Amino acid sequence: MLQITGLTHSYADGHTAIDGLDLTVPDGELLSIVGPSGCGKSTLLRCIAGLIAPTAGTLTLNGAPISGVPDDLAVVFQDYSRSLFPWLTVRDNVALPLRRRGMGRGERRAAAQEALESVGLPDAGRKYPWQLSGGMQQRVSIARALAYKPSLLLMDEPFGSVDAQTREDLEDLVLGVHRTGKMTILLVTHDIDESVYVGDRVVVLNRSPARVHADIAVGLPASRDQIETRGLPEFVRLRAEVGRLVRGGAKVPGAAPAGEAAGPDEPDADAAPAEGSGSELLAKAAKPAKKKSPAKADAPAKSEDASAKDDEGTAKDEAAALDEAAAKDEAATKDEGATKNEAVAKPGSGTASKAAGKTAGKADPA
Ligand SMILES: Nc1ncnc2c1ncn2[C@@H]1O[C@H](COP(=O)(O)OP(=O)(O)OP(=O)(O)O)[C@@H](O)[C@H]1O
Ligand SMILES: [Mg+2]
């Protein structure tokens, strides 16, 4: 069980993104999280992933405080473009984290291929991420997370860059994996219909700083169908209710204890920074890789350092948080003969890729 109590996160520039958020997620739940742009959804996921430390409040996973990146966690980041190693093939990107599962090389490759097929990319394995479209790269990130079979999966706008048909297929894929894999999934989405379609429950966050504005159980049949489920009167009612709440409507009677009602609109200038700017973020992410040694990148140190790094961008937070995993993965990758591919990415000195690998290496395990 994931238990969040009084979570507050203020960035180093003084901006409070989350203020006193309470949330409990039972094991095995698929929780949809919705809320206005810039309200703090990604910040919340980064706190849960142990990538940034709370300013106040507590997060526990199965009773243990989250003080670094939890084991058995995977994250599909909103900015998927910086979470793949550019010098590894798509298949190797997906297979890389499976080392942590103790799987042999052949087994890893077979699992990676299977995951790629499940996201509709059966022929992409030999390509490099930069040879794929944005939507395809996003699907590779999803494949990597699903192949890892984590017990806790955090997905931040995982289907934002794919076409409508593929999006529906991926929603059903996540539902299928959730049913069979018994994993807990937190899925952030801007798509209200999607939040209801995939969710066991929908949590609506209010405008920044984030708190839980409403908490809605989705009482739809567990088996969902894109046509039938979306045509059910209960689905139509729920999507209208969630839509109203996201736009700042009052809480429904009987909703779980939530924060205050939505506040006034934030200025656009306060929207999430720098997201979507892959190369810029990679460049930022590269910085801590140069100065960090694996030894100082253990989990508690990451969180202690996190607030000081906030003003330098989230990519850097994530990168710094995952140095240790990257160091291990990097060494292992070289074992597997990736040296040749690495040379392809050398012009950037490989540091950006290393940083992406930190992200991928443990939280987004590739
Ligand atoms: N590193 C940072 N330093 C300072 N402020 C930040 C940082 N990262 C995010 N913020 C601010 O915190 C608030 C929440 O950002 P966050 O990215 O969590 O929002 P979000 O709900 O995920 O938005 P979106 O739906 O657009 O992805 C925003 O006002 C954003 O400007
Ligand atoms: Mg976000």
Rounded average pLDDT over 154-170: 92
For residue 209, pLDDT beyond 80 = yes
Rounded average pLDDT over 24-44: 96
Protein residue with least CA distance to atom 9, ligand 1: 272
pTM: 0.74
In ligand 1, which atom is closest to the CA atom of 266? 29
For residue 364, pLDDT beyond 50 = no
Q: What's the pLDDT at 251?
A: 62
Q: Predicted confidence band at 94 (pLDDT cuts at 50, 70, 90)?
A: very high
Mean pLDDT of the chain: 75
For residue 178, pLDDT beyond 50 = yes
Around ion ligand 2, residues with a beta carbon closer than 5 Å are 41-42, 78
Which DSSP state fits 102?
Answer: T
Protein residue with least CA distance to atom 20, ligand 1: 38
Q: Give CA–CA dist 165/230, Å, rounded.
A: 15
Q: Is the CB of 283 under 6 A from ligand 1?
A: no
Q: Is the CB of 184 under 6 A from ligand 1?
A: no
For residue 282, pLDDT beyond 60 = no
DSSP string, 2-21: EEEEEEEEE-TTS-EEEEEE
Looking at CATH, the fold of the domain delimited by 2-267+278-363 is given as Rossmann fold (3.40.50)
3-state secondary structure 229-267: HHHCHHHHHHHHHHHHHHCCCCCCCCCCCCCCCCCCCCC
Helices 323-335, 278-291: inter-axial angle, 10-degree rounding:
90
Which ligand lies nearest to the CA atom of residue 76 in the structure?
2
Which ligand lies nearest to the CA atom of residue 190 in the structure?
1
For residue 211, pLDDT beyond 60 = yes
Question: Which one, of 320, 326, 333, lies nearest residue 292 by Cα?
Answer: 320
What is the whole-number distance in angstroms between the Cα of residue 313 and the centre of ligand 1?
A: 10
Q: Is the CB of 110 under 6 A from ligand 1?
A: no
pLDDT tens, residue by residue, 245-275: 998 776 655 444 433 333 333 323 233 333 3
Query: Worst-scoring range by mean pLDDT, 126-130, 209-213, 275-279?
Result: 275-279
Q: Give CA–CA dist 118/359, Å, rounded.
A: 23
Q: Evaluate whether 87 touches 342 at the Cβ level (below 8 Å).
A: yes
What is the whole-number distance in angstroms between the Cα of residue 43 and the centre of ligand 1?
A: 6
For 5, 21, 129, the CA distances from 56, given in Å and listed in that order, are 9, 10, 38
Q: Which of 10, 208, 212 to probe ligand 1 with, by most ligand atoms within 8 A of CB?
A: 208
Q: Which residue has the higher pLDDT, 272 or 7?
A: 7
Q: Which residue has the higher pLDDT, 182 or 320?
A: 182
Q: Give CA–CA dist 6/221, Å, rounded.
A: 32
Q: Give CA–CA dist 29/346, Å, rounded.
A: 42
Q: What's the pLDDT at 302?
A: 34
Q: Is the CB of 36 under 6 A from ligand 1?
A: no
Q: What's the pLDDT at 250?
A: 67
Q: Give CA–CA dist 355/286, Å, rounded.
A: 5
Q: Evaluate whether 175 touches 225 at the Cβ level (below 8 Å).
A: no
Q: Is the CB of 313 under 6 A from ligand 1?
A: yes
Q: Which residue has the higher pLDDT, 52 or 351?
A: 52
What is the whole-number distance in angstroms between the Cα of residue 44 and the centre of ligand 2?
A: 9
For residue 237, pLDDT beyond 90 = yes
Q: Evaluate whether 116 touches 125 at the Cβ level (below 8 Å).
A: yes
The structure tokens listed for 16 are 């409070």
Protein residue with least CA distance to atom 11, ligand 1: 272
Q: What's the pLDDT at 342?
A: 30
Helices 314-321, 299-309: inter-axial angle, 10-degree rounding:
160
Q: Predicted confidence band at 366 (pLDDT cuts at 50, 70, 90)?
A: very low
Q: Which residue has the higher pLDDT, 161 or 278?
A: 161
